Every structure is written in structure tokens, then in C-alpha cells.
Amino acid sequence: MSQRRRLPNSLRWRAVGWIEMGLSQADAARRLNVSRSVVQRLWDQYQSEDSVSRRPVPGRPRATTPAEDRFLALSARRRRTTTVPQFVADHFQASGRRISATTVRNRLHNAGLYARRPVVCVPLNG
């Protein structure tokens, strides 16, 4: 599972320096191993704000990526009897990052999967 990689400020300034020296945006992107649109957005930000630092974003960073959320939901559908602690262990083995059992439950709830299933039983009427 891949995770988004943010460019550190040093590489952002290096890309701007390369472009100012006459290197094309495509060549700068190739050197940084990122998409050309990333370098283009950096250059546009530099021209409008005279800075390439990251803008602050609201909220807390997510513990899992959307791809990991889909993986958890798919695993839960395939293996119906697997418990949440087993999903936590599987995720750690696959990605190398720890997530909490609460996170796994929340992701499964978002996918419409719940631990409790209705059970047919004899009603206890006295």
C-alpha cells in the first residue's frame, strides 16, 4: 500500500532554483521523481506568494489512506469471521504502521460493516 509523500521544503526550494536557472518543469520533476503538475503548482505558488512552504490544513492527519480503507473493507467481506485485533495485526504486517482497533471499527462502519448481526432465536415470553 502506498502512501502520499510530501516534498520537504528543501526540495521545494531546490525545484524553484532549478526553474530559475533555466531548467524546464518536466526536467525538475524528473529529478525529484514527482509528477510535472507538482512542480507546476510549486512554481505557480512561488510566483503568486513568493514562497513554497506548505499551507496549513485544518484537522488531524488521517491514520489510514483511502486505499487502506478499501483494503480493510475488502478483507472484512472476504473473511467474515476475522476479529478487529486480527485486522490491526494484518494492517501492521502489510504497511508497517500501527493503527488502533477503534480506527479499524470506524473504517468498517463507514463501509457499512458491523460486528453485530441479527440472530434468529426463540423469544422468551413468560
Nearest of 110, 111, 107 to residue 91 by alpha carbon: 107
- Provide the whole-model pTM: 0.52
Question: 10 is written with which cell numbers?
Answer: 528543501
Per-residue pLDDT tens for 19-50?
A: 999 999 999 999 999 999 999 999 999 998 88
Helix (H) or strand (E) holding 93: helix 84-95
Q: What is the reported pLDDT for 61?
A: 82
User: For 74-91, how does the pLDDT look when each residue is reduced to its tens digit (9 = 90+)?
Assistant: 999 999 888 999 999 999
